[in-house]
Amino acid sequence: MQHFYRSHLGIDEVLALAEQFFPTLGLVNAPKTPRTRTFSGELGTVQISARPEGGHYLFIEAVTDQAGESRLDRNVKRFFVLVHRVANPAHKLAAAY
């Protein structure tokens, strides 16, 4: 599956967060490129890439090798929540009923 998120953080900050988050799931970091990180393990493989988009935004893309809403895909969404919390620490996430 393919997921994406836009953020105000820098490329280095996002990739550093990915390097901290995904190894906690038992995923191993493969050889890296300047804007991409690939993690693989028992859950599957995820590739995180970050590139500037439209001025001050950063486009973060996560591609997994899973076919549906897998555990890895749910953790990619958790990673995006982490990125959001780092970018906007004062914002409180709440349900919109």
Task: Confirm if 25 and 41 have CB atoms less than 8 A apart.
Answer: yes
The model's pTM is 0.89
Indicate which CATH number applies to the domain containing 30.
3.30.310.80
Task: Determine, yes or no, domain membership for 97.
Answer: no
95 within a domain of the structure (yes/no): no
- Judge whether 23 lies within some domain: yes
Q: How confident is the model at residue 79 (pLDDT cuts 50, 70, 90)?
A: very high
pLDDT in tens, 33-77: 899 999 999 999 999 999 999 888 999 999 999 988 899 999 999
Q: How far apart are CA 23 and CA 80, in angstroms?
A: 15
Q: Answer whether residue 53 is part of any domain.
A: yes
| Domain assignment of residue 76, yes or no | yes
Decide if 93 is inside a domain.
no
Asked whether residue 93 carries a pLDDT value surpassing 80, the answer given is: no
Counting residues of the chain whose pLDDT is more than 90, the rounded percentage is 79
Cβ atoms 80, 21 nearer than 8 A:
no
Burial label, 1 (beta-carbon count in 10 A; 0-12, 13-18, 19+): middle
> Would you say 18 and 79 are in contact if contact means Cβ atoms under 8 Å apart?
yes
| Residue 18 structural domain | 2-87
Number of domains in the chain: 1
Asked if residue 51 is part of any domain, the answer here is yes
Q: What is the pLDDT of residue 96?
A: 78
Report the candidate in 25, 24, 6 with the shortest Cα–Cα distance to residue 80: 6
